[in-house]
Amino acid sequence: MLGAARRQLGSGPMLGQVLRRLRPATAAAAEAARAYSAAAKEMTVREALNSALDEEMSADPSVFLMGEEVGEYQGAYKISKGLLDKYGPDRVLDTPITEAGFTGIAVGAAYQGLRPVVEFMTFNFSMQAIDHIINSAAKSNYMSAGQISVPIVFRGPNGAAAGVGAQHSQCYAAWYAHVPGLKVLAPYSAEDARGLLKAAIRDPDPVVFLENELLYGESFPISAEVLDSSFALPIGKAKIEREGKDVTITAYSKMVGYALQAAEMLSKEGISAEVINLRSIRPLDRATINASVRKTNRLVTIEESFPQHGIGAEICMSVVEESFEYLDAPVERIAGADVPMPYAANLERMAVPQVDDIVRAAKRACYRAVPMAATA
């Protein structure tokens, strides 16, 4: 495991000593032309993640990437394309299929001041390493009275893809957002992916970074500001993707796109929907959500994950606690079906929220449709 480290271990030094000797990026690498210029108009989420990793590794020699197939194969989803050639095997580390092993090594490296980025081929596999993520990474700063920082990023695809069955389709947003000591981010667009990943790598605390496989190839408009190497988005701040006055729709990751489609459909029927891209699941931007609800007086929450104890439930409670008197209708919550993900394509589609589900919920909130109970 860890090619360069293995060679060193054979002659004596322990792994921690080897990792502390990670070589800084050469001047040539630091000055190499970046793949995306200010003239670029669009960028895929895959390109955004790759460029963020590249720039942060170039800027800080303590940043390194490790995971299954991140090096020679350039990543299962090609997020790490070109990084092995540029930074070498000491900083782009291919690991065996042993999440518990390499995640523990990465947490130990973070204890020693390095900044590991751990890639899980899918967040479903993070279950093998959950003890290191929660008991070691998330709690060490508190248990050491602030003496130990754990600057580490756990990233990879999260949630449903297509036809991969129940064990490879779970959304872990609510799982990890439950844990004090973790920050949990869920990007939607290329701007989100680039700005949030940079912020996550620079952060002194452990960050769970939940990507979506189906978004990797999606292209989004991107500005010159976002392409600047110093750009980063604030953790804990949501983005209003579309302003509206009749109903607030909250979503994260892939569901943001669905919410925007629903808002467009609703506009044709005279309903003005405000769409909030949460971006950050923990910390949650309660202020932006409540300010929007106080304006629109209605709320629809959307998430792919299971409904019980979900992100939508937390948002609903926040609004009840802070803005209950502003509500003119019951909160509508849309989530995945409360069953393991079916394998059959037709059943899989029924188990995941669709645009029409959002439209119907928004209409109910605006009293523009027959309530569900009346049609039962």
Q: Which of 69, 168, 264, 322 is catalytic?
A: 168
| Spatial CA neighbour of 371 closest among 327, 334, 330, 325 | 330
Cross-sheet strand order for the sheet of 63-67:
92-94, 63-67, 115-119, 153-157, 207-211, 183-185, 280-282
CA distance 118 to 367: 47
Angle at alpha carbon of residue 237, lines to 127 and 278, rounded to 5°: 55
Phi–psi pair at 187, nearest 5 degrees = -75, 155
309 is catalytic: no
Q: Mention every residue, 6+ apart, whose C-beta is less than 8 A from residue 86.
A: 29, 32, 54, 57
Which tokens belong to 8?
A: 């060193």
Q: In the block, which residue shows the tokens 């279950």?
A: 127
Give me the residues paired with residue 44 across strands: 219
Q: Which of 47, 56, 99, 303 is catalytic?
A: 99
168 is catalytic: yes
Question: What amino acid positions are annotated as catalytic residues?
Answer: 99, 168
